[in-house]
A and B are shown apart, each in its own frame.
Chain A
Amino acid sequence: MQNTHISSGSTELRNFARLGLTKKLTPYAYLSPTLLLLTMLSLIPIVTVFLYSLVDNVIITNKPSLFVGLKNYIDIISSVNFRQALGNTLFFSATSVVAHLLLGLLFATLLNSRVIGIVPKAIFRVIYILPWVFTASVIAILWRLMLNPNGVVNYLLIGLGLAHEEIEWLSSRQLALPAVIFINVWAGYPFYMVSLLAGLQGISDDFYEAGKIDGANGVQLFRFITLPQLKPIIVSLALLDFIWTTHQFTLIWMTTGGGPIRSTEMLSTFTYKLAFSSNQFSQASTAAMVILAISTFVALFYVRNQRLADE
């Protein structure tokens, strides 16, 4: 049963495997292209950015840079604007990740259901994936058009009687952040949906059969079979999304520019303005390093989680 389609051409490999050395090096061998690429193209610029954060200014300055140690870090962390941007970003990322997860899971489950035929399912999948195919700047412009005080969203709301005057979605201090979160949720849920859909395919029907025989209903099947099976994927998705959302720049920049009055100021827009508007590249690099530290902290949890999965 199990022998039929396995090749026997790996005798040499087997012989090699007897030497413990190859076994030890194998994982590194598999990782080598990644490590090579990342070391050359990723670590070197990151180290450069780190070095920038230790001097008084770089790039837009004719004078040679002076080493100032941790002064930039103290300046950044004690900056009120930085802390506001940090707070906004954490709120923005956390709500986005949760909403993405819920929507992604919901849609993936819906799309995986046997209730509808193959063709309608395929069509629905294409519709659901739409927010993904558009580039961030176009999404920003599209939503700006729709959320314009004279735009179609207000028109529908007024027409349906849900509002009685044009709402300033992106220009009001109270509504701008929720509006931007909504746009981000719309733009980002397909990532979860597609990944979870793939994950759902990998859950063997045997599990569900066994569950049904034990008398479990739909909800219980979901809770005790689907979710645990999807857990590794969900954790990966949440981690990645959190890190990416923290960087989200174009969407925010082109809808509100961080305004009004910094209500949608994120770490990304804050850093960008520091670098290219105030020409404080060292301080921007410092902010980048702080962001790196926070993300690494979050990533540590993920890596710990992986270790548990190994055992």
Chain B
Amino acid sequence: MNRVTIRTVKSGFAIGLTITGLLLGALFAGLPALWMIASSFKSNTQIFAYPPHLIDDSFSIGPYSSVLSNPEQLRFFFNSYLVSTLVTMLTLLIGILSGYSFSRYAFRFKKFLNLIIIAVQSVPPITLMIPYFGLIVALRLYNSYSALLFTYLVFTLPYAIIMMTGYFNTLPRDLDEAVMIDGGGSLTILWRILVPISLPGIVSVGIYTFMLAWNEFLFALTLTKTNDMRTVPIGIQLLMGQHSFEWNQIMAMSVLGSVPVLILFLVFQRYFIAGMAAGSVKG
């Protein structure tokens, strides 16, 4: 009985602490975003007014209607979603296979290949830009979705592989052995056991890959020429003119771009809870 009482007192304190922490963290994360939303409704001058207000008399949905009524901008959104989704699916597929390889096998060039895969992403993209651009032109992929797709794969794969290797490494080998005893091959182990259990990890890798592809600017700009191939980050940059920035439209476009992504995140959140519920090995 004593144990229970102590636990309850401790829990009360813990609950209070947790909730305070959550609220403070939410302020830290959310206030700038709130400011962005507020700015998207203001007139450009009022964004710079002092003292600043959250909402003022210049409130209008003008910036949003400007963006949404512009077919070019809408095309940017479409392109971004298309490319990001495809990149995510392909990255997950290839990343899972490669992560499996690094996690479960010992082979001769393993360290070397692991090092290469990590090292290739340490070259600053800005220096790679021109040689890479030349390569894409030589491959006749200039100004196409394929160019963006392959380019982003090169960026996202090392990350996906490292993370999947890490997640697979947290899963005990007993699971693999259990499958092998029953006559299953490596593919079976991977798709029937490891993947379902690593679903939270896979979802998090997928989310990050999507974000990376979504937010990438430099190569999207360099490898596309015409507006029908360009993506949202370029659309936002086009609002930053030589003489002035369309501050409120920039904010509006950013908000519009992030809302569907947040909704997607809300939807996929439940896979975070999947955890050990899928096919664990007990006893």
Determine direct contact between A and B, CB below 8 Å.
yes
A263-310 residues with Cβ-Cβ distance < 8 A to B are 267-268, 271-272, 275-276, 281, 284-285, 287-289, 291-292, 294-296, 299-300, 302-303, 306-307, 309-310
Question: From residue A267, how far is it (CB to closest CB) to chain B in Å?
Answer: 7
Which chain A residues have a beta carbon within 8 Å of chain B's beta carbons? 1-3, 5-8, 10-11, 13-14, 17, 24, 26-28, 30-31, 33-35, 37-38, 41-46, 48-49, 52, 59, 106-107, 110-111, 113, 115-116, 122, 124-138, 141-143, 145-146, 148, 150-152, 155, 186, 191, 194-195, 197-199, 201-202, 204-205, 217-218, 229, 232-233, 235-236, 239-240, 243-244, 246-247, 249-250, 267-268, 271-272, 275-276, 281, 284-285, 287-289, 291-292, 294-296, 299-300, 302-303, 306-307, 309-310
Question: From residue B39, how far is it (CB to closest CB) to chain A in Å?
Answer: 7
Q: Which of B161, B192, B215, B283 contacts A135 (CB 8 A)?
A: B215
Q: Is the beta-carbon distance between A195 and B178 smaller than 8 angstroms?
A: no
Please report the C-alpha to C-alpha distance between residue A134 and residue B227 in the assembled complex, in whole angstroms.
21
Q: Is the beta-carbon distance between B131 and A48 smaller than 8 angstroms?
A: yes
Which chain B residues have a beta carbon within 8 Å of chain A's beta carbons? 10, 14-15, 18-19, 21-22, 25-26, 28-30, 32-33, 35-36, 39, 47-48, 50-52, 94-95, 97-98, 100-102, 105-107, 110-111, 113-128, 130-132, 134-135, 150-151, 153-154, 157, 159, 161-163, 165-167, 169-171, 178-179, 182-188, 192, 197-198, 200-201, 203-204, 207-208, 211, 214-215, 217, 232-233, 236-237, 240, 245, 247, 250-251, 254, 257-258, 261-262, 265-266, 269, 272-276, 279-281, 283
Question: From residue A54, how far is it (CB to closest CB) to chain B in Å?
Answer: 14
Given A126-B262, A148-B48, A309-B169: A7 and B184 within 8 A (CB)?
yes
Which residues from B are CB-within-8-Å of A138? Answer: 36, 236, 250-251, 254
Given A155-B51, A309-B169: A45 and B18 within 8 A (CB)?
no
Q: Is the beta-carbon distance between B162 and A107 smaller than 8 angstroms?
A: no
Which residues from B are CB-within-8-Å of A125? Answer: 265, 269
Which residues from B are CB-within-8-Å of A296? Answer: 115, 118-119, 122
Q: Is the beta-carbon distance between B97 and A33 smaller than 8 angstroms?
A: yes
Please report the C-alpha to C-alpha distance between residue A49 and residue B120 in the assembled complex, in whole angstroms.
12
Question: From residue A85, how far is it (CB to closest CB) to chain B in Å?
Answer: 12
Given A37-B150, A202-B197, A291-B123: A31 and B101 within 8 A (CB)?
yes
Please report the C-alpha to C-alpha distance between residue A237 and residue B98 in the assembled complex, in whole angstroms.
18
Please report the C-alpha to C-alpha distance between residue A198 and residue B204 in the assembled complex, in whole angstroms.
7
Q: Is the beta-carbon distance between A10 and B102 smaller than 8 angstroms?
A: no
Q: Is the beta-carbon distance between A46 and B19 smaller than 8 angstroms?
A: no
Q: Which of A110, A131, A205 contacts B32 (CB 8 A)?
A: A131
Please report the C-alpha to C-alpha distance between residue A113 and residue B22 in the assembled complex, in whole angstroms.
10
Given A33-B94, A37-B153, A292-B119: A129 and B167 within 8 A (CB)?
no
Q: Is the beta-carbon distance between B167 and A233 smaller than 8 angstroms?
A: yes
Given A10-B183, A146-B35, A233-B167: A204 and B237 within 8 A (CB)?
no
Please report the C-alpha to C-alpha distance between residue A252 and residue B233 in the assembled complex, in whole angstroms.
17
Given A7-B192, A107-B25, A141-B247: A204 and B124 within 8 A (CB)?
no
Q: Tally A-B pairs: CB < 8 A.
A: 325
Q: Which residue of A lies closest to B80 (CB)?
A: A135
Q: Is the beta-carbon distance between A295 and B119 smaller than 8 angstroms?
A: yes
Main secondary structure of the interface of A (DSSP, over half): helix
Which residues from A are CB-within-8-Å of B200? Answer: 197-199, 201-202
What are 28 A-B pairs with beta-carbon distances under 8 A?
Answer: A7-B188, A7-B192, A10-B184, A30-B100, A35-B113, A37-B150, A111-B22, A113-B18, A115-B19, A127-B26, A131-B29, A133-B262, A135-B215, A136-B215, A145-B247, A191-B208, A198-B200, A198-B272, A201-B272, A201-B275, A232-B170, A233-B163, A239-B118, A249-B126, A271-B127, A284-B126, A292-B122, A303-B111
Which residues from B are CB-within-8-Å of A281? Answer: 130
Q: Is the beta-carbon distance between A155 and B120 smaller than 8 angstroms?
A: no
Which residues from A are CB-within-8-Å of B102? Answer: 27, 31, 306
Q: Is the beta-carbon distance between B32 and A186 smaller than 8 angstroms?
A: yes
Which residues from B are CB-within-8-Å of A285? Answer: 127
Q: Which of B94, B106, B233 contacts A310 (CB 8 A)?
A: B106
* Pairs A-B, 10 closest by C-beta atoms: A295-B122, A13-B185, A198-B200, A27-B105, A30-B101, A201-B275, A48-B131, A288-B127, A133-B258, A236-B166
Please report the C-alpha to C-alpha distance between residue A145 and residue B200 in the assembled complex, in whole angstroms.
36
Q: Which residue of B lies closest to A253 (CB)?
A: B126
Q: Is the beta-carbon distance between A38 and B276 smaller than 8 angstroms?
A: no
Q: Is the beta-carbon distance between B123 and A34 smaller than 8 angstroms?
A: no
Q: Is the beta-carbon distance between A243 and B261 smaller than 8 angstroms?
A: no
Which residues from A are CB-within-8-Å of B18? Answer: 110, 113, 115-116
Please report the C-alpha to C-alpha distance between residue A272 and residue B10 in the assembled complex, in whole angstroms.
54
Which residues from A are CB-within-8-Å of B47? Answer: 145
Given A38-B154, A44-B135, A202-B275: A129 and B161 within 8 A (CB)?
no
Please report the C-alpha to C-alpha distance between residue A152 and residue B35 in the assembled complex, in whole angstroms.
9
Q: Is the beta-carbon distance between B204 and A195 smaller than 8 angstroms?
A: yes
Known A111-B22, A152-B35, A202-B198; 7 more pairs at CB < 8 Å: A10-B187, A13-B187, A31-B98, A42-B120, A145-B39, A186-B29, A232-B169
